[in-house]
Amino acid sequence: MDRDIRKVDDVLRLLDGLFAPESDSLTNDAAAWWDSVYADRSSAVPFFAPKPDENLVSYAERGLLGTGRALDLGCGAGRNALYLASLGFDVDAVDLSSAAVAWAEERARDAGAKIRFVCGDALAPADGELDGPYDLIYDSSCFHHLPPHRRISYLAFLERVLAPGGHLALTCFAGGGMGSELSDTDFYRQSGLRGGVFHAGLAYTPESLRWVFCDLTEVEVRRMSKEPPQSPWFGEPFLWTALFRRDQP
């Protein structure tokens, strides 16, 4: 007779198993899935293009970010990390997918950019990795792939590594545009979602983003602008963009 739950982390791991029953590890299951996505670099995946998000460029051009240390959370093939490095940020970049990180490292070498890449789970880093403080955490569509219970881990991570006065900037699926609109409760009621919820992603509204990040100060929440194929920036209107600031104590 096993009794496995004593702490919050025990509950989180139990719930992870509901979403990745094959391996009992949400992290391992997600890493394998994303490796399969990045394995074919010739795929016509919009975010494979080596150009930064239009909202990130907008923040920089309007002087909203400053400089300092930046973390690209869920960096993929490194397109936003490269842009942040070009602005003078000291950049760390992390992704679950070893295939994505390998591609990002190649791009950084080709560009002569100094970026520290880490392959692993940003919300549970090894000692000495991603310990901040960061003046900017940039999340281009990582947040919406987390199952609801892992928002707890995400917010704890922000509390630990986001510097006072620093910014969280993110993009995520917009309700009515892309992503599942099931309620949080229904995710745990529908056993047919086992093993693949985070792949589909969750849709959010501006109100839900403001509620999740209510301990931060909103700077801007808006739809991402549609960018044409020839644009030097990436932009798709099925995403929200959001910029929040952690105020000084």
Per-residue pLDDT tens digits of the chain, which is 249 residues long:
678 888 988 888 888 877 665 544 666 777 888 898 898 898 888 888 899 999 999 999 999 999 999 999 999 999 999 999 999 999 999 999 999 999 999 999 999 999 999 999 888 876 678 888 999 999 999 999 998 999 999 999 999 999 999 999 999 999 998 888 989 888 888 754 444 445 678 999 999 999 999 999 999 999 999 999 999 999 999 999 999 999 988
Query: Which CATH number is 39's domain given?
Result: 3.40.50.150
* 93 and 78 Cβ atoms separated by less than 8 Å: yes
Number of domains in the chain: 1
In a domain, 2, yes or no: no
CA 86/CA 114 separation, integer angstroms: 10
In a domain, 3, yes or no: no
In a domain, 197, yes or no: yes
pTM across the whole model = 0.91
**Which domain does 56 fall in, by range?**
8-245
- Residue 35, burial from CB neighbour count under 10 angstroms (0-12, 13-18, 19+): middle
In a domain, 64, yes or no: yes
Rg of the chain's alpha carbons, rounded to an integer? 18
C-alpha angle 216-244-232 in degrees, rounded to nearest 5: 165
